[in-house]
Structure 1
């Protein structure tokens, strides 16, 4: 028996302010495609955080430069 381990929550912040979040449920695809729009008016860091059933988190970051 393989224990369930699915993503429960996805959040995106830009310079520390939440710009998008989604709560995911078992009925969502095993590999969901998440898309959203963000207009960056100043340079900053965008952070993505995925949280699973056990409360573990995985993060990724990128710097956006507005010229």
Structure 2
């Protein structure tokens, strides 16, 4: 399912790092019906975690109300140019993906 990597950008300015990420995921709610009237099974991200130098800087629980290919933006204090930020998502079907970006 998760074939495309996340597009992550992390920029540090004045002691604050801003992270923006675009995730590739279908985010199916489980309430839509297909052309034959059958319910399309739910398939959505339910946990997102971001780490900087193995320290968790964001942990979020999501549900089916989040749109397809979600965009996430957040800031945290700290981070130096060259440090790595890793974002991991897990979905309700047990799939997961982790991608990293270097802080600029």
TM-score bin (small chain): 0.7 to 0.9
Structure 1's consecutive aligned runs of 4 or more residues displaced over 4 angstroms after TM superposition are none
Provide the TM-score with structure 2 as the length reference: 0.52
Map of 2:102 onto structure 1:
63
State the distance in 1 between where 2:73 and 2:81 align.
21
Unmatched runs of 5 consecutive residues or more in structure 1: none
Unmatched runs of 5 consecutive residues or more in structure 2: 1-37
Number of residue-to-residue matches in the alignment: 65
Tell which structure's C-alpha radius of gyration is larger.
2
Does residue 42 of structure 2 align to residue 4 of structure 1?
yes
State the distance in 2 between where 1:62 and 1:35 align.
14
Provide the TM-score with structure 1 as the length reference: 0.75
